[in-house]
Amino acid sequence: MQSIASGEFHSCAVTASGAVKCWGNNNSGQIGDGSTLQRGTPVAVTGISSGAATVSTGANHSCSVSTSGAVKCWGANDLGQVGDGSHNQRLTPVPVVGLNSGIIKVDAGNFHSCARTTTGAPKCWGSNSDGQIGNGSVSLSFTSPVSVNNLASGIRDISGGEFHSCAIVSAGGVACWGRNDSAQLGDGSYNDSNVPVTLSFLDPVSVSISAGSTHSCVVGDREIFCWGTNNNGECGTGFPSSPIVNPVLLPDLRGNALAVSAGFRYACAIADGGQAFCWGNNGFGQLGDGSTSNRSRAVAVNGLDSGVSQISAGSYHSCALAQGGNVKCWGYNINGQLGIGIRNYRLPADVLDNPAFFYDGFEAPGP
């Protein structure tokens, strides 16, 4: 595998040959195999058997970028999150309007998506109930990509959260937009914004950003800064607290942080040597430390002390791209989103690459 993504209750990966495979919940067609059957192990996404570079997963839709820079999405589309100009559910991938080339990255939020072009221009589409599209409006949805106000070029990274979005701008600073009731925009206020607001706190040059549910995190100069909701310890400060309105430095992983992924009230990171760490909400073992206790400081993920090249925090489960291209997942598994074919869900286990089966959901009721 060469790319992985954890959504709300499903997961996807890009194989070494450029095919996309997905598993888990499929009630809206987010698996992309033409059905709405849950899948407990990976199945091939129809029409993407080669040529994919990356994949991203939202609450109930998925998107991929090809090696030629074209974007396709599939799944729920009631809010335009597939981006094909309609509100029609798509059980298999369809092209996103106007994004048939020149795209470096796409990141699926819960019900919207954002992309970064080769010129560094952001494009977003889908739900805009809180201004998360960033074009100066607050409307129900956009069914095809629109430009983000005041960010015409030069962005280095972009991420879609639950009801907000964030980007790294040309100078290495951060801009966010959308809902801000939990300070997830990080501008020192609780005011929503339908256009990007710039965070002036960062002395380091930011290199990657991740917008979670109601918090956000960024990596800059090998250190991690987070802001927003922190009652589960998701900002990693060492103690739970009310929302953090301005970014704070994560006390752990200082000087050796490589990447971060913010999920639903928790986050995970990769440090030097490819060691995986997570912190925040842990009610379903999504931190991977063998417990279900929340952690307000970063804890090592069991068995992933080296060789991790990518990590993805979903809603209640996590996945990592480990040594040799193996995918390991852990956490909540009611819909088969771990892809492991067994009940154990607290510690990382190998995703099975055998024929998919229908997953009957034999665990306790979900969150």
Q: How is 124-176 classified by DSSP, letter by letter?
A: EEEE-TTSTT-SS---SEEEEEEEPTT--S---EEEE-SSEEEEE-TTS-EEE
Average pLDDT, the chain: 93
Rg over alpha carbons for the chain, rounded to the nearest Å, is 18
Q: Which residues 6+ apart lie within 8 Å of 328 measured at CB?
A: 303, 304, 319, 320, 322, 348, 349, 350, 351
Q: What is the pLDDT of residues 279-303, one digit of tens each?
A: 999 999 999 999 999 999 999 999 9
Q: What is the domain range of residue 84?
A: 3-350
Q: Residue 277 above 70 pLDDT? A: yes
Q: Is residue 356 in some structural domain? A: no
Q: Is residue 168 in some structural domain? A: yes
Q: Which residues 6+ apart lie within 8 Å of 272 measured at CB?
A: 256, 258
Q: Is residue 363 in some structural domain? A: no
For Cα atoms 362, 162, 173, give the angle at the middle one, nearest 5 degrees: 135
The count of domains in the chain is 1
Mean pLDDT in residue range 205-210:
90
Q: Per-residue DSSP letters for 45-78?
A: PTT-SS-EEEEEE-SSEEEEEETTS-EEEEE--T
Q: Residue 100 above 90 pLDDT? A: yes
Q: Is residue 360 in some structural domain? A: no
Mean pLDDT in residue range 128-147:
95
Is pTM beyond 0.85 here? Answer: yes
**b/e per residue 43-52 (b: at least 16 CB within 10 A):** bbbbebeeeb
Where is pLDDT greater, at 147 or 170?
147
Q: Is residue 358 in some structural domain? A: no
Mean pLDDT in residue range 214-238:
96
Q: Which residues 6+ apart lie within 8 Å of 236 measured at CB?
A: 224, 226, 250, 251, 252, 267, 279, 280, 296, 297, 298
Q: Quick one: pLDDT band at residue 346, thresholds 50, 70, 90?
A: confident
Both tokens of residue 9?
A: 């209750």
Q: Is residue 366 in some structural domain? A: no
Mean pLDDT in residue range 338-360:
69
Q: What is the pLDDT of residues 44-71, one digit of tens each?
A: 999 999 999 999 999 999 999 999 999 9
For residue 131, what is the domain's CATH number? Answer: 2.130.10.30
Q: Is residue 365 in some structural domain? A: no
Q: What is the pLDDT of residues 107-117, one digit of tens each?
A: 999 999 999 99
**3-class secondary structure, 200:** coil
Q: Residue 362 above 80 pLDDT? A: no
- Rounded to whole angstroms, the Cα distance separating 12 from 43 reads 9
Q: Quick one: pLDDT band at residue 172, thresholds 50, 70, 90?
A: confident
Q: Let me know: does 1 contact 307? Beta carbons within 8 Å.
A: no
Instruction: Say which DSSP state 79 is in.
Output: T
CA distance readout (Å), 176 to 117, 143, 345: 18, 21, 34
Q: Is residue 41 in some structural domain? A: yes
Q: Residue 201 above 70 pLDDT? A: no
